Amino acid sequence: MNAIKKLFVAALALLLVTVSLSEATYAAELTDIDAVADTYNVADSETDETDAEAVTENIEDIEADTDSEDIFDPELYEIYIDEQGQVYYIEKEPKEPETDEVIQEEEAKEEKKEPTYSKLDLRLLACLVYTEAGNQPYEGMLAVANVVLNRVKSDAYYHVNTIEEVIFDKMWAVQFSVTTKNKKTGKSMMDKALESYDSGKFSGKNPKAEKKAMEKAIKAAKEALNGKNNIGDYLCFRLNNSGAKKIKKKYSDYRIIGDHIFYRTK
């Protein structure tokens, strides 16, 4: 009987030991599971923080790119590259739009410039051009004006030194037939042109056309007096008709503009 009790006590003790070991093992496993879970939670937290930082960086990059488009606008900045290959963006100076006031000021400055010729020179030269080439193209008018100015400077016409002297020169012969006076009226074509120049009135068959021709003649005279020359050193001109054949044989260097032939440089 005592032997049976001893065996029962021993079995009960073994059972208690086994249960205790099982609980300890289960507790250890729970601890390991919690540790692993904590590890995963930390990793997930770090991953979330990393992702958030990456998103923030991407947003900043996008904003930087957007800003760079404004900074590198070729209409606002000039690109300069130095010898080391460094790129610089230099801001352009803003252009000020031209207003009506600025344009008017510039035009006023041009008008204030004093001409290098006298009013008398302009009056005489314009009227000669009008009478000699009033029906010619503008280039022909400009060429006639330059013939007069070339004679003023030429040694071949040593006896004349002014525009007036050239126009009314009669040393060898009447140089410009428009200065010859009409026996009936006592006026030359040049006289009538001077009257129209002074009064602004034209008494011909087509006053509007005559006024327009005078305006062109004045413009040609002004440009010639200011140095514009389209015929070089030519000293003479005449109608390019049958009478010009001798001129063409004698002078190989000549130029035809409109109805006139320009020739002789010495």
Question: Could you report the per-residue pLDDT of 240-255, keeping only the tens digit for each?
Answer: 999 999 999 999 999 9
pTM above 0.75, yes or no: no
d(CA 142, CA 136): 10
Amino acid at 64: A
Can you say whether the dihedral through the CA atoms of 229, 232, 238, 244 is positive or negative?
negative
With a pLDDT cut of 90, the percent of the chain lying above it is 54
pLDDT of residue 49: 52
Query: Measured at the alpha carbon of residue 24, what is the angle toward residues 21 and 27, in degrees to the nearest 5?
Result: 150
The stretch 12-20 carries a mean pLDDT of 57
Query: Quick check: 24 pLDDT over 80?
Result: no
Q: Which two tokens stand for residue 54?
A: 């990456």
Q: What are the residue boundaries of the structural domains of the chain, listed by start?
A: 2-69, 118-263
pLDDT of residue 43: 43
- Dump pLDDT digits (tens) for 68-120: 444 456 666 666 676 666 766 667 666 666 666 666 676 666 555 567 899 99
pLDDT of residue 107: 65
Q: Is the backbone of residue 228 left (phi > 0), alpha (psi -120 to 50) or beta?
A: beta
Cβ atoms 82, 88 nearer than 8 A: yes
